[in-house]
């Protein structure tokens, strides 16, 4: 066994830095929080090469005194607290004196700063841990320039996400920090191009609209609750506004964005009876609490806090959401347009042992995607007009051993074959047919110009995602253009999508970019959305010809008996099964 030794200081600093600085977004978060603590009213962020080459954060705050600037990158040097008693009453974002020290240990850093009362500011430069200080003639405030991040720990770069995903995380970090700091102006430039601009807002309402769109408040309730210890307030979904993921759930404690694993659970618990399974309410919640009743010193990156009474806070979150929902007791009809949502328990999760025209052991490598679409007037035909015509006799007999008995609940087709009864969920079956056709016609998808181009207002993050994925929209038949700040115009759409509710389809596609950000099959995900969007649904009219055509494809076609989302649409009950049910055997 090796002898125990003390690690060199520079190694200790690098280890500590790894806890604080996870990626470029961590640097930006820490520097913005320093600017907020300095009382800045304007904060400008610049990143180059996703922050790995260069990060610049500039503010007009109080600045750092020339005599103190050398201490700013020393470990555990801070202006936020001075003794142990203040550690239990933290009212600032920073307090441990670790951020600048950690950043300086894994990058080259320059700090330019000047206070109001100084005639000359100061310039600190730290390159390869060699520090120099000189004069700086500039305006009041502080500019921090971070270059060559992780230059001395290249292994850390291997664990970073793609540059596009790093930029997305940076953007989300700036926006999340800007929500409670509504009176402060923020800008973000990416490779010298303005990515976002948030002017100082007069109210939290205005900042919410800046970030999530001008019409967002029409979809949210605002509520407040308070008692002696805690005040809680927030914006929560109206019953008809749901998301496909938790990406619009934020919790702030004393204006600090935190991660609390039970937050989403309590929001979902409140909304459990009025939103479909797999959907999520929006919730932007703020808790104001005496700093002495929380501990913000339990996570290196200060993402978590320890609450004085967890159950008490849990109840406050749940009661806030419940109070909001007391305004409305009706469930929107749009939640029941999908056969998947209306009858979730009527399709067996076990695939039938009998798989016609295919391999019963076939793997199901199909993309998971959103299934939430409003009822559309347009539905795709079951088959192309070039398909061979199929004759139908009055009894809807497919062949001598197969007879279609009819529809059940306007959702399932009943088929008698020999001594078996088959049930087919026609929406999911049609969805599979359309999806397979889209995959077969990959990059040759037929599109149409919309008579009336569709204008869609997006949140800042959604708008950026569309810009980053224009090629994906183009490949799937959508011609999308930037129209104005955070608004896009859709000029063409796939023929299969029809002309109705294009905005809903685009927003579902955006949600799938967010949900599927670790996958390379976004085009296939979008094809599954198009198929679901266009397939016939429960209560749609099915002619005898439609039913016979679909049954022939299901029984004799070489198709997988699951929709693109993985839900089975074919189930068999044998005569002996029925006889056992009725105790005939």
H/E/C letters for each residue in 554-575? HHHCCCCCECCCCCECEEEEEH
What pLDDT shows up at residue 14?
56
Residues in contact with 73: Cβ distance below 8 Å, sequence separation at least 6, in sequence order: 100, 101, 103, 104, 109, 111, 124, 126, 131
First-last CA distance in the chain: 73
The candidate with the shortest Cα–Cα distance to 422, out of 278, 570, 290, 527, is 570
* Torsion of Cα atoms, 384 then 387 then 392 then 395, to 10°: -70
Q: Please give the chain's pLDDT, 585 residues, in tens.
A: 666 766 666 655 555 555 567 889 989 999 999 999 899 999 999 999 999 899 999 999 999 998 888 888 876 666 654 455 544 555 566 555 577 888 888 889 999 999 998 999 999 999 887 899 999 988 999 999 999 988 877 767 777 778 888 898 999 999 999 999 999 999 999 999 999 999 999 999 999 999 999 889 999 999 999 888 789 999 999 988 888 888 899 999 888 888 888 899 999 989 887 887 778 999 999 999 887 777 665 555 556 667 677 888 888 899 999 888 876 444 444 333 333 332 333 333 333 333 333 333 333 333 333 333 333 223 455 544 344 433 433 346 667 788 888 888 888 999 998 888 999 988 888 888 888 887 776 656 778 888 888 899 898 888 888 888 888 888 778 889 988 778 999 998 887 776 667 888 888 888 877 765 444 466 777 777 777 777 777 777 778 888 888 888 888 887 888 888 778 888 889 888 888 888 887
What is the C-alpha to C-alpha distance for residues 44 and 19, in angstroms, rounded to an integer? 25
CB 241 within 8 A of CB 284: no
What is the C-alpha to C-alpha distance for residues 423 and 199, in angstroms, rounded to an integer? 58
Residues in contact with 196: Cβ distance below 8 Å, sequence separation at least 6, in sequence order: 171, 174, 175, 186, 187, 188, 460, 464
Give CA separation, 301 vs 6, 27, 296, 422, 550, in Å: 25, 10, 10, 57, 56
Structure tokens, 264? 């989403």
Structure tokens, 75? 């470990």
What is the C-alpha to C-alpha distance for residues 496 and 527, in angstroms, rounded to an integer? 10
CB 269 within 8 A of CB 322: no
What pLDDT shows up at residue 184?
96
What pLDDT shows up at residue 539?
74
Residue with the two structure tokens 């103190």: 68
What pLDDT shows up at residue 31?
93
The candidate with the shortest Cα–Cα distance to 362, out of 442, 436, 437, is 436
What pLDDT shows up at residue 331?
40
CB 480 within 8 A of CB 470: yes
Structure tokens, 364? 């199901």
Query: What's the residue count for the chain?
Result: 585
What pLDDT shows up at residue 513?
79
């Amino acid at each position: 066994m090796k002898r125990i030794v003390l690690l060199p200081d520079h190694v200790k600093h690098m280890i500590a830095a790894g806890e604080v600085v996870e990626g470029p977004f961590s640097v930006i978060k820490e520097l913005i929080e320093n600017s907020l603590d300095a009382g800045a009213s304007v904060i400008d962020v610049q990143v180059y090469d996703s922050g790995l080459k260069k990060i610049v954060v500039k503010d007009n705050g109080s600045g750092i005194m020339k005599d103190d600037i050398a201490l700013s990158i020393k470990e555990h040097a801070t202006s936020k607290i001075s003794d142990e008693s203040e550690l239990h009453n933290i009212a600032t974002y920073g307090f441990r004196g670790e951020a600048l020290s950690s950043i300086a240990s894994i990058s080259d850093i320059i700090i330019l700063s000047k206070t109001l009362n100084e005639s000359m500011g100061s310039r600190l430069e730290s390159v390869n841990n060699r520090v120099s200080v000189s004069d700086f003639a500039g305006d009041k405030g502080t500019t921090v320039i971070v270059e060559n991040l992780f230059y001395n720990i290249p292994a850390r770069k291997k664990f970073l996400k793609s540059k596009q995903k790093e930029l997305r995380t940076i953007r989300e970090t700036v926006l999340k920090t800007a929500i409670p700091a509504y009176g402060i102006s923020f800008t973000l430039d990416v490779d010298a191009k303005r990515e976002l601009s948030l002017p100082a807002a007069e109210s939290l309402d205005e900042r919410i609209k800046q970030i999530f769109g001008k019409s967002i408040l029409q979809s949210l309730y605002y509520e407040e609750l308070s008692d002696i210890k805690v005040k809680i307030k927030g914006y929560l979904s109206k019953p008809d506004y749901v998301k496909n993921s938790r990406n619009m759930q934020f919790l702030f404690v004393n204006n600090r964005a935190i991660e609390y694993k039970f937050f989403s659970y309590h929001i979902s618990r409140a909304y459990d009876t009025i939103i479909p399974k797999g959907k999520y309410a929006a919730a932007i919640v703020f808790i104001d609490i005496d700093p002495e009743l929380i501990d913000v010193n339990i996570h290196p990156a200060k993402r978590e806090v320890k609450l004085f009474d967890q159950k008490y806070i849990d109840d406050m979150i749940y009661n806030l959401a419940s109070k909001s929902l007391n305004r409305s007791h009706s469930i929107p009809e749009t939640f029941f347009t999908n056969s998947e949502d209306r009858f979730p328990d009527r399709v067996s999760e076990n695939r039938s042992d009998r798989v016609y025209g295919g391999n019963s052991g076939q793997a199901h490598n199909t993309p998971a995607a959103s299934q939430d679409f409003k009822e559309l007037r347009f539905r795709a035909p079951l088959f192309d007009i070039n398909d061979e015509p199929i004759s139908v006799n009055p009894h809807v007999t497919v062949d001598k051993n197969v007879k279609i008995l009819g529809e059940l609940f306007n959702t399932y087709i009943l088929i008698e074959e020999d001594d078996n009864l088959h049930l087919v969920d026609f929406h999911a079956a049609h969805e599979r047919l359309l999806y397979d056709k889209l995959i077969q016609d990959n990059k040759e998808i037929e599109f149409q110009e919309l008579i009336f181009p569709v204008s869609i207002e997006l949140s800042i993050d959604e708008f950026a995602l569309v810009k980053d994925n224009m090629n994906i929209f183009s490949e799937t038949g959508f011609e999308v253009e930037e129209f104005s700040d955070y608004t896009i115009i859709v000029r063409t759409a796939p023929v299969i999508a029809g002309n109705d509710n294009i905005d809903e389809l685009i927003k579902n596609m955006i949600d799938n970019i967010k949900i599927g950000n670790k996958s390379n099959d976004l085009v296939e995900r979008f094809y599954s959305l198009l198929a679901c969007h266009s397939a016939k649904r429960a209560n749609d009219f099915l002619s005898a010809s439609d039913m016979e055509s679909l049954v022939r494809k299901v029984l004799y076609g070489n198709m997988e008996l699951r929709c693109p989302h993985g839900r089975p649409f074919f189930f068999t009950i044998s005569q002996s099964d029925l006889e056992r049910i009725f105790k005939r055997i």
